[in-house]
Structure 1
């Protein structure tokens, strides 16, 4: 059941600002960016908002923790332009990214299960083959070396970098941590601790924090979805939002949008 909040009373910019802990300029900026619907103006040119604008602002602020400011902005812009399907696609993409982050964390934990010093008989690698194994450029490995993530030795005859089995282990772990969103300056001390300790204990607190951040983002997405759904129910039905007549309706028996 949709509720029309456009006629539910007038609000000043300061009313929206105070209710959400913002400045009046921030409210005006959100309107200019399309996060809020366009406001009506009084005869003197002052903006007047309605409870619908308050609902839009609440939805946007609820979306930000789970989706980030840029994606939350794009979602609200699409909704206010009656492009609801575009907004839902953006939400789906955020959920896909969150799932990938979970899988990356699982991969890191799996990699940590085999962090004991590797025997030398398992072989050594040059920079090219190792880069191909990781799916990165050789320049990336050299950057990691400068940051202390890996410490390959130099072949005395050719001067080429030679990565021992332990170096390969460190590179694999560094790659997983980078995929998890950690900065080089965060990864380097972790790798150094693992290198010296020869075990996973130094990373246990990091993994707990990583789990907590993913869980917090997942919960934030639920909160944002509820607030956005409430806003959608309050908006006047646009032509694109209304269901088609039964004889014109297309039934999708198998969408592949989740893989896009």
Structure 2
């Protein structure tokens, strides 16, 4: 087969196939007497495997996987594949924990009547020491307003909500930096409803990546089976 024969299946150019070949993503190809590359079904499957891996793993990891396989280093290739699944599982668990924390707060929205809370009042509400709330402020977790006259901290509804969420996450074992990152996402999303939409979108992205990883693994397995037959 010629480069264009491999290219047509994927809507690529012949030059793209030559570039992939030069990059070591395909097994070595024989040359004709005139110097033209000759490809086989093995090369066609290597290309399918790389393109499928790229969808799930990203370009650079897919390149590393193919390089490892084509030099016979299957152990390194398997480690790269396994690492992607571990990372995806970790992200999936993180999303589930964030969603659970948001759900736990759904029935306890901190509506406040009257003026904003002082640091002492908020501390009593949460059952913690005021110093903890001040420490959370330095970490960017809480952003209280200041009274223009006295300079005292004032915790309005949004700030109380953030404090409630922070307490839940801290009880769940989250580090302060993780709590701050979560609350930044909440503020950027525009509130709990918007964040729920964000979480649903996040779940869809994880599902898509899971399917892409499975598709990549299937094409890679076919390529490895073909390699076993020719080696």
Shared fold (TM-score greater than 0.5)? yes
Aligned to 1:166: 161
Name 1:29's counterpart in structure 2.
Answer: 19
Unaligned residue ranges in structure 2 (runs of 5+): 113-121, 167-176
Name 1:217's counterpart in structure 2. Answer: 209
Q: CA RMSD in A?
A: 3.4
Gap regions ≥5 residues in structure 1:
1-10, 132-137, 179-183, 195-199, 240-260
Deviations 1:171-214 (A, max 9, x none): 86662488xxxxx7xx6431x3x1xxxxx333332222111111
**Displacement of 1:68:** 1.4
Instruction: State whether structure 2 residue 54 is matched by structure 1 residue 54.
Output: no
Greater helix content: 2
The answer to whether the 8 Å contact 2:56/2:213 transfers is: yes
- Verify the 8 A CA contact 2:162 2:183 in the aligned structure 1: no
TM-score (normalised: structure 1): 0.65
What are the Cα deviations for residues 97-133 of structure 1, in whole angstroms up to 9, with x where unaligned? Answer: 010011111111122122622882334623x5567xx
Question: What is the rounded CA distance, in whole Å, between the counterparts of 2:22 and 2:49 in structure 1?
Answer: 17
Say which is worse superposed, 161-170 or 70-79, in terms of deviation.
161-170
Change (3 A) 1:202 1:48: same
Structure 2 partner of 1:232? 224
Instruction: Identify the residue that residue 189 of structure 1 maps to in structure 2.
Output: 188
* Contact map agreement 1:125 1:162 (CA 8 A) in 2: no
1:40 maps onto 2:14 in alignment:
no
Name the structure 2 match of 1:93: 83
TM-score for the superposition, normalised by structure 2: 0.72
| Structure 1 residues 112 and 48: CA distance shift in structure 2, 3 A | same
Q: Aligned in 2, Cα 1:32/1:154: closer, same or farther, shift over 3 Å? A: farther
For 1:77 and 1:87, locate their aligned partners in 2 and report how far apart those are by CA, in whole Å: 8
Residue in 1 that maps onto 2:116? none
8 Å CA contact retained: 2:53, 2:217: yes
Could you tell me which residue of structure 2 aligns to residue 77 of structure 1?
Answer: 67
Could you list the runs of 4 or more consecutive aligned residues of structure 1 that deviate by over 3 angstroms after TM superposition?
128-131, 150-157, 159-174, 236-239
Q: CA deviation at 1:12?
A: 0.7
In 1: Cα distance, 2:137 partner to 2:18 partner = 52
